[in-house]
Amino acid sequence: MADLLIRGARVLQLRDEKASVLPDHDIVIRGNRIDRIAPTGAIDASHARQVVAAAGQLAMPGFINCHAHAPMALWRGLGEDVNLESWFNDYIWQFEANLEPEDVFWGMQIGLLEMIEAGITAVSDHYWHMDYAARAVEKAGTRALLGQAMFSGGGSAQIDETAAFAKRWDGQANGRIRTILAPHAPYTCDDEFLRASARKAEAIGAGIHIHVAETLEQTQASLQRRGQTPIAVLEACGIFDVPTILAHAVGATPGDLETLADLRQPTGIAHCPKTYAKLAMGYSNVVECRALGIAVGLGTDGAVSNNTLDLWEAMRLTALGQKQLTGDAENLTIAQALTIAGADSARVYGQGAELGDLSPGKLADIILVDLSGAHHLPLNSVSASLVYNVRAGDVQTVICDGQIIMQNREHRRLDKDEIMENIRPRMERLRRRDRVPKIQTYNP
């Protein structure tokens, strides 16, 4: 018997980087997995516990956000029109000196609310006070891979503390929550700290989520100070002995890319193009990474740089940006963009076998998208519309782990009014930039 039946949807399929759309199909969900996909009418719907009518809507995998700091939505719009050094030193690391644990619980919720509305069902989040973020994820019904951030200046005791967090939450919420260790970056963590983090990750069976080579300037600074690129530093410190999510790697050298292509452990890059453009950080060559076999997934980064948590935008900017960067509009095709958003992001997220594709046996993280708006008409190509036309507001229904968490744009789990009532009184404190010292200084 079906626990949930999605009735009469168009179903997006991606095989070997070709996109196709099954018309009028039903999706049967048992427990938290997809059981069957078949033409409408072939399945007896009368015994399904719940039926979602989806005629004319497009079913596709929920988006996977490979790199975010969702609670930073609290400071959305407050670090504008500045370069990276000022963004860190004059804004972010001053703001974060005001951060209290409970802020993360509410900030994570507003970020999750926005992501659910945009069809994001899983997020790899790298931030502070992550017990509070985990409680928010439990409540929201989404999937998350959580890592508690650390700078080596905070002392090595953090490694045990964040490992304890990781053990506390890994597999919780019916397996929706997984955990990871999260040293911040090679420019904020010394070699010894990185080595200890890698050993700890290996000991507890966790991966590592780390910022690296965010710009070419960081790579040049690392070469001067340490005689190695940031990616070479990670390799030398044993980080790549465990599965690793590399946030950004915009400043990766050709040699770095060879290193990444040769790794035995699954390692992937989280590509966050809106942040790169907004902070004038340069641009990764995703086309080249993919040609080398390096997995590239999509990320939003935080909403103080982005300023939204919207992977439709990230997917579109990836396609547009790579065509522009390489000077060849045949690069980064529609099907490739959808593959990056789907299977490749699932691989970077560490659940490549279970997420990122709609087929029997996969976890049931499914979104339903309305393509009837004027901005899609006439609908000559569903797959082109997904990459170039959809607005996050076209997402109607979001299912994660077999449960409906938003239906016809009504939230089933989170309460926007409650969240904002709790955020509003915090903002006067959170906006202050007069605390001494700030939590860190950017000087790579």
| Cβ-proximal residues to 7 (8 Å cutoff; 6+ apart), any chain | 26, 40, 45, 51, 52, 53, 54, 55
Compute how many other C-beta atoms are within 10 angstroms of the C-beta atom of residue 122: 29
Residue placing its CB nearer to a second copy in the complex, 78 or 97: 78
| Structure tokens, 368 | 């339903």
Q: Quick one: which of 333, 339, 345, 403 contacts a second copy (CB under 8 A)?
A: 333
- Please state the closest distance from residue 242 (CB atom) to a second copy, in A: 33
- Please state the closest distance from residue 23 (CB atom) to a second copy, in A: 16
Q: Which residue has the tokens 């279970």?
A: 354
Residue placing its CB nearer to a second copy in the complex, 363 or 367: 367
- Which helix (H) or strand (E) segment is 421 a member of? helix 416-423
Q: Quick one: which of 16, 330, 428, 434 contacts a second copy (CB under 8 A)?
A: 330
Stretch that binds a second copy, among 53-61, 64-72, 120-128, 325-333 (CB under 8 A): 325-333
Size of the site for a second copy (CB under 8 A): 67
Residue placing its CB nearer to a second copy in the complex, 196 or 392: 392
Quick check: 43 and 28 in contact, CB under 8 A? yes
Residue placing its CB nearer to a second copy in the complex, 156 or 324: 324
SS3 string of 65-118?
A: EEEECHHHHHHCCCCCCCCHHHHHHHHHHHHHHHCCHHHHHHHHHHHHHHHHHC
Q: CB-based burial of residue 5 (10 Å sphere; 0-12 exposed, 13-18 middle, 19+ buried)?
A: buried
Q: Quick one: which of 58, 70, 118, 237 contacts a second copy (CB under 8 A)?
A: 118
Q: CB-based burial of residue 324 (10 Å sphere; 0-12 exposed, 13-18 middle, 19+ buried)?
A: middle
Cis peptide before 307 (omega within 30 of 0): yes
Q: Which of residues 366-395 bind a second copy (CB under 8 A)?
A: 373-381, 384-385, 388-389, 391-394
Residue placing its CB nearer to a second copy in the complex, 77 or 293: 77
Q: Quick one: which of 6, 11, 52, 74 contacts a second copy (CB under 8 A)?
A: 74
Quick check: 269 and 295 in contact, CB under 8 A? yes
Q: Which of residues 402-441 bind a second copy (CB under 8 A)?
A: 416, 420, 423-424, 427, 431
- Please state the closest distance from residue 432 (CB atom) to a second copy, in A: 13
- Please state the closest distance from residue 61 (CB atom) to a second copy, in A: 21
Stretch that binds a second copy, among 185-193, 232-240, 300-308, 351-359 (CB under 8 A): 300-308
CA–CA separation, 139 and 33 (whole Å): 20
Quick check: 118 and 63 in contact, CB under 8 A? yes
Which residues form the interface with a second copy (CB under 8 A)? 73-78, 80-84, 87, 110, 113-114, 117-118, 274, 276-280, 282-283, 306-310, 317, 319-321, 323-324, 326-331, 333-334, 373-381, 384-385, 388-389, 391-394, 416, 420, 423-424, 427, 431
